[in-house]
Amino acid sequence: MKTKLFGMAALSLALASGYAFAQSSTVNGAAGGAVTGAIVGGPVGAAVGGVAGAIVGTAIDPPPQRVVTYVREQPMPEDTVVVREKVVVGRPLPETVRVRTIPENPKYAYAIVNHERVIVEPSSRKVIRVLN
């Protein structure tokens, strides 16, 4: 019984954290994690998924609208980089990608990768949001 419970909790944690990683806030992460956990593991899965979703949801806060607007208004540079790796929220950009600072808000930076505008955390180069 313990093994089954532990397995379900681990599975729901993995699913919830993946699901919540795409969420933009703690509340959405907790709610999404709880729903995913409940589907996979019932009440225990809901509890574990909610906690995991909340933790992962706090890892990536959405950038303010001013930052998004700033990045969208920047001209497309001629030296855009194309990389083989898929640009994924939560993963760092390769070192070959030039990251540009956002003067009004140094907590965020941006890059143009594979002709997409990407908002990143400057210190870790972690992707926070991909703009279409």
> Mean pLDDT, consecutive 10-residue segments, the chain of 132 residues?
47 44 47 61 66 56 93 86 90 93 94 93 96 86
Whether 42 and 5 have beta carbons less than 8 Å apart is answered as no
CB 122 within 8 A of CB 98: no
Put the strands of the sheet holding 100-101 in their side by side order. 100-101, 109-113, 116-121, 126-131
Token pair for 55: 């933790």
**Residue 39, pLDDT score:** 73
CB 93 within 8 A of CB 118: yes
* Per-residue model confidence (pLDDT) at position 69: 95
Count Cβ atoms within 10 A of the Cβ of residue 95 and give its class: 0-12 exposed, 13-18 middle, 19 or more buried. exposed
C-alpha angle 76-98-132 in degrees, rounded to nearest 5 = 45
pTM for the structure as a whole: 0.56
Distance between CA 44 and CA 7 in Å, rounded?
Answer: 11
Give strand pairing partners of 116. Answer: 113
